[in-house]
A and B are shown apart, each in its own frame.
Chain A
């Protein structure tokens, strides 16, 4: 297992390196410069400032310099927020994004699992139909529509919860709800499909034949084996939500990372693009790794195969 983990770690570093390289060169293909006042500057003035930044050098030279700094842990400073270190930009903004994403995932997973399980057990009964309708609605209503709806009715009309901002737990409730709907929908859908398949498999029949109670069959055998596809999507979904969601953060004025990332691309803010991409990739790779480990926990067959590698 230790050797397996170490191997995976080396792959992770290599993947990260490839992502860094690709992003760097793709980013340099973006037209324009990171200057903020480029509309007003003359080409000569632009050239002078870019030279001061070292952006007049050939791209491969810039790349090597960037890698050198990266190894020293230096992600550089932002252009749009003059001189602010990229690490500071990310660490300032990841907190709210991560908290929101985490809450949405936990809440969404719990509700989604319950819905999916109930739907499968009560297959073709009203419970199933209700759960399916909820899942379809959840998958088809975009989170910003639901978010706007929640904001208007619950915060503006009923005044039960704050409209926006980030000043305590109650400020997180509406954005969490808006975000978790998508999670609920996909988890419920996966869980229901997989449960139905598992419930009709031979070993469930065997278990039932042994005289195990319905509850025992569901708890011990069905749920656990149905979790695999759920776990597969849970990893990337968690990273996705925790690194910030542009629309919901904007709607609820959450000081998160989501909008920042999009803006940095629009403004050619090279160091921030690189910093956030690397951060995001590292999280994603880590999530995939954890998902792999989790497979082993839920399904011993996978653990054995992994161990042999």
Chain B
């Protein structure tokens, strides 16, 4: 008996050695007393419970590249302007702005009551410091290019000019002057994007490497501050008492927990621990008739890129046939099932409106629709022109499960509607897929694009012959000229610029370097007592500034 006991002791000891080896066997049990005790029962309390699918990668606005960081930055920081309830820019730290005659110089008047969470005033110098920091090559910002509209920004970022040559100046503490390379009609909206947030020089320098890594090594100037940030577990927003517009902010506290599994997220919603949860396709049928079920349309587009240097894709009729041979409605209804809509265009709908207030999409309409008969006709014509009867194409795809289904669907549709065509699917890890696309080692590629700024140009510039993201080999001098004009000579004539972009989009579908598939939607459940939870079509996914519990 004694020996048996000692054996057990040895076993136990051995196991505890592992624990000790594991970084001190840090026990997270002491988290118990914290936010876990909160019961969402008292809903009149202005407390919102949310979930997110990832830890915050960074709170340093100069380094942020991902969805989660941009969401958090949007709620704890504020730029010159921010996106309002209707996705139009509304004043943030800036009260107003003036534009010079040539549209190249913006002068922002900053409000005097904007403060950092430590009480310091937010000044024009904070913007100059932050923007220069983004463009400093040493910062290694992966979003620096979003500032390239500013005079000398690209030169500064690539080290060709010193930082002080950047076209951004603080005329005094509350006046910021920005010189642009070209007139950019969407610039004011851009200042609400995460990368353009101000930073407090003194604080950032004092924190050094630690800036943006913890709740207390970050300084805030937005509607909320992060009062708690437990890595990989979640974070808590608390209303910022120093915020200039604090009377508008109604929520006292927002708890966000990290949950990566959709089934778990749905279970948390069911047990009332989350007020809003995103749904993947498999959950949509179950909740489709729930009163709290909603869908929204994102301005992200997915399409098949076509390598126009490859036979038969070098033939425009073959490309048109492919673009018309896929039943997109059936695809979004059965495979995606989340509010996505068929895309017959290359500028998304519900994204931008022109000088006349009309949605870009309403003016240009559908430019290529599913039409199997027409597709067959064009396909036969292409075969005749190429003098061949059988073709095999490789479809490059992402390696995710959802993309796999779409790839198989596209293959089935194309092979069924275009006789003599064989599709081989090639799934690749994301990075490798990008590499194959940029070196044009593919035939067809399932890919997508989301906007970088609120203007059709963010999609249209893709297809110019000099665009590094074109990757189809397609080029059209008339198209290039229209885009160039819209960016330069027409930039101050809103209507002419808009018309040029409308015309340009039509040219894309005469050449058909892409077969548009769908515009992405998102399905979600949101408790009925959550009001004014504003979602955005550009930049951060949502704003909490106006949200409240009823």
Q: Which residues of A contact B (CB under 8 A)?
A: 30-33, 35-45, 48-49, 52-53, 80-84, 90-96, 98-99, 102, 105-106, 148, 151-152, 155-156, 159, 163-169, 219, 223-224, 227, 238-239, 242, 250-253, 255-256, 259-260, 266, 268, 282-283, 286-287, 290, 294, 297-298
Partner among A151, A167, A223, A260 whose Cβ is within 8 Å of the Cβ of B267: A151
Q: What residues of A have a CB within 8 angstroms of the CB of B58 in the complex?
A: 81-84
> Contact at A102–B468, with CB atoms within 8 Å?
no
> Contact at A156–B271, with CB atoms within 8 Å?
yes
Q: What residues of A have a CB within 8 angstroms of the CB of B477 in the complex?
A: none
Nearest CB in chain B: distance from A243 CB, A: 8
Nearest CB in chain B: distance from A82 CB, A: 4
Nearest CB in chain B: distance from A133 CB, A: 27
How many pairs of residues, A versus B, come closer than 8 Å at their CB atoms? 186
Q: Which residue of A lies closest to B146 (CB)?
A: A40
Q: What residues of A have a CB within 8 angstroms of the CB of B438 in the complex?
A: 43
Is B254 an interface position by the 8 A CB rule? Answer: no
Q: A105–B14 Cα gap in the complex (Å)?
A: 12
> Contact at A37–B261, with CB atoms within 8 Å?
no
Nearest CB in chain B: distance from A239 CB, A: 7
Return the CB mask of B119-143 against A: 1 if under 8 Å, else 0: 0000000000000000001101011
> Contact at A163–B27, with CB atoms within 8 Å?
no
The 4 closest A-B pairs by CB, nearest first: A32-B431, A255-B232, A167-B36, A95-B26
5 A-B pairs, CB-CB below 8 angstroms?
Answer: A40-B452, A82-B60, A167-B36, A251-B263, A283-B22
Q: What residues of A have a CB within 8 angstroms of the CB of B11 in the complex?
A: 294
Q: Which residue of B lies closest to A41 (CB)?
A: B142
Q: What residues of A have a CB within 8 angstroms of the CB of B143 in the complex?
A: 37
Q: A294–B438 Cα gap in the complex (Å)?
A: 56
Would A52 and B140 be within 8 Å (CB), given that A165-B257, A286-B21 are in contact? yes
Would A163 and B23 be within 8 Å (CB), given that A155-B271, A242-B18 are in contact? no
Would A283 and B264 be within 8 Å (CB), given that A53-B140, A80-B57, A266-B429 are in contact? no
Nearest CB in chain A: distance from B399 CB, A: 10
> Contact at B434–A38, with CB atoms within 8 Å?
yes
Is B454 an interface position by the 8 A CB rule? Answer: no
Would A287 and B36 be within 8 Å (CB), given that A95-B23, A148-B263 are in contact? no
Nearest CB in chain B: distance from A70 CB, A: 17
Q: A256–B26 Cα gap in the complex (Å)?
A: 12
Q: Which residue of B lies closest to A31 (CB)?
A: B432
Is B496 an interface position by the 8 A CB rule? Answer: no
Q: What residues of A have a CB within 8 angstroms of the CB of B25 in the complex?
A: 95, 98-99
Would A255 and B271 be within 8 Å (CB), given that A82-B58, A297-B7 are in contact? no
Nearest CB in chain B: distance from A215 CB, A: 11
Task: Name A's interface SS.
Answer: helix
> Contact at A98–B22, with CB atoms within 8 Å?
yes
Q: What residues of A have a CB within 8 angstroms of the CB of B7 in the complex?
A: 224, 227, 297-298
> Contact at B431–A81, with CB atoms within 8 Å?
no
Is B457 an interface position by the 8 A CB rule? Answer: no
Is B10 an interface position by the 8 A CB rule? Answer: yes
> Contact at A95–B28, with CB atoms within 8 Å?
yes
> Contact at B28–A96, with CB atoms within 8 Å?
yes
Nearest CB in chain A: distance from B242 CB, A: 26
Which of A52, A256, A282 gathers most chain B CB within 10 Å? A52
Nearest CB in chain A: distance from B495 CB, A: 30
Is B550 an interface position by the 8 A CB rule? Answer: no
Nearest CB in chain B: distance from A259 CB, A: 7
Q: A105–B18 Cα gap in the complex (Å)?
A: 12
Q: What residues of B have a CB within 8 angstroms of the CB of A49 in the complex?
A: 140, 142
Q: A297–B9 Cα gap in the complex (Å)?
A: 11
Is B316 an interface position by the 8 A CB rule? Answer: no
Q: Which residue of B lies closest to A97 (CB)?
A: B22
Nearest CB in chain A: distance from B160 CB, A: 11
Q: What residues of B have a CB within 8 angstroms of the CB of A164 in the complex?
A: 259, 264, 267-268
Partner among B14, B64, B145 whose Cβ is within 8 Å of the Cβ of A40: B145
> Contact at A83–B209, with CB atoms within 8 Å?
yes
> Contact at B264–A252, with CB atoms within 8 Å?
yes
Would A81 and B432 be within 8 Å (CB), given that A48-B158, A49-B142 are in contact? no
B window 424-449: CB within 8 A of A: 429-432, 434-435, 438
Nearest CB in chain A: distance from B228 CB, A: 13
Is B118 an interface position by the 8 A CB rule? Answer: no
Is B321 an interface position by the 8 A CB rule? Answer: no
Q: What residues of A have a CB within 8 angstroms of the CB of B263 in the complex?
A: 148, 151, 251
Partner among A99, A238, A294 whose Cβ is within 8 Å of the Cβ of B10: A294
**18 further contact pairs, Cβ within 8 A, besides A40-B452, A82-B58, A106-B15:** A32-B431, A32-B432, A43-B438, A44-B158, A48-B157, A81-B58, A83-B60, A95-B26, A99-B25, A105-B15, A151-B264, A163-B271, A164-B259, A169-B29, A250-B260, A250-B261, A294-B10, A294-B14
